[in-house]
Amino acid sequence: MVIRSTRSAALALLFLSCFTCACPLMAQAPEGPLPPPPTGTPIQSTPPEALAKITARVTLVNTPVTVRDANGAMLHDLDERDFVVTDNGIPQEITHFDVGGDPISIVILVETSSRIDSFLPQLHKTGILFSEQVMGPDAEAAVIGFDSSLKTLQGFTRNHDAIQAAFSGLETGESGICLFDAMAAGVEMLSDRRKPTKQTPVPGRRVLLILSEALDTGSDARLGEVLRRAQLENVTIFSVGLSTTRAELKSKPRDNAPTPITPPGTYGMPPPPGTVQTPTTEANQQNAGIDLIELTKVVVEHTKSAATQRSLEVGAAATGGGYYSTYKGRSIETAIDEIGGELHSQYMISYVPKSRSGDAQDFGYHQISVSLVAEKSRGKKVTTRPGYYIPPPGS
């Protein structure tokens, strides 16, 4: 979920810098699906300095909101008047409210490194899940594959068969994983989609969906810079975390593969007392004691310290999306199905941010809070994006 900079009769939008490898941000997106580029078309990565220098005037905030009951079931029967929204503690007026019905543009990023050879049979079958469960009847989608480089496998299209063909033809390549560069390219592609018009002043949804290990081995882009841009462009990130441990155990041996420090099927960290060590318990040990929301704030505000082994979770938490691990027996197919269910069950709330001074432009981090009115809040859990960051001029 992100912030979109727009120009209208009363509000001005100005981007002081743009990506040198992309079309100007203010260019009008073409109507309808784009013709797909030739299969395997390489993508030029976005220079990190271009990401870092973006400064924008925020005139509209879109935030996805998921509401669950005490049993974890998603609720779809709430109304606009049931929600209370604040921005840096200031109550905001909701200007747009919808439940899963806004038009969607999706960029799907899929890891194609040699590390995930064992997952290829499963990935080949996922195209139909993306087209039917995630896209639905009206969405447009594009597919990018990435290892040490990025390739456009399918440009934006509403054709379900084309998306399925992109997945059925997946092939693995080099062993590198340029995850952050792929995320930067996906955000850039989405930034020019679903722009507001006089007829539709609220832009449609922009979604980045990632299937990958939570690993980056050589990107030029930094995670914090990518997430800062994603927030300002109202991009919501969903991700399916491919199990690194399972990939290592199942992948084909490589001549340059590092020698594991423990035998296959064993783990380098002792389990908690009274438990048996598994990929799940090892992952829980690595993740214990981390506040994801606080981590997202640090990553977005201090982009140079953005490297993290929990990049997929941080990306989802920072933008109001969801992270689905495949550790606990959840299959890739199940994870995609769950993402489709959440994506189309989220409430979309928009507002024009107002500060105490009445000026919508406050530099620094803005904390978003979405809650339910007292009579509706009992036993409910509300999840949304934690906020967004507006860099000061010249930063």
Residues 6+ away with beta carbon under 8 Å from 169: 39, 153
Determine contact, residues 65/27, Cβ cutoff 8 Å: no
What pLDDT, on the 0 to 100 scale, is given for residue 267? 38
Tell me the per-residue pLDDT of 143-177, one tens digit each, with 9 for 90 and over: 999 999 999 999 999 999 999 999 999 999 999 99
Percentage of residues in the chain with pLDDT exceeding 90?
54
Tell me the per-residue pLDDT of 102-119, one tens digit each, with 9 for 90 and over: 889 999 999 999 999 999
Domains of the chain: 3-22+45-254+292-390 (3.40.50.410)
Cα(378)–Cα(291) distance, rounded to whole angstroms? 24
Q: Is 359 exposed, middle or buried (0-12, 13-18, 19+ CB in 10 A)?
A: exposed
- Distances in Å between the alpha carbon of 151 and those of 36, 42, 51, 111? 12, 4, 20, 11
Q: Give the position of tokens 């013709």.
A: 35
Helix (H) or strand (E) holding 163: helix 160-168
Number of Cβ within 10 Å of residue 136's Cβ equals: 15
Output the DSSP codes for 342-369.
Answer: HHTT-EEEEE----TTS-S---EEEEEE
Tell me the per-residue pLDDT of 313-352, one tens digit each, with 9 for 90 and over: 999 999 999 999 887 667 899 999 999 999 999 999 999 9
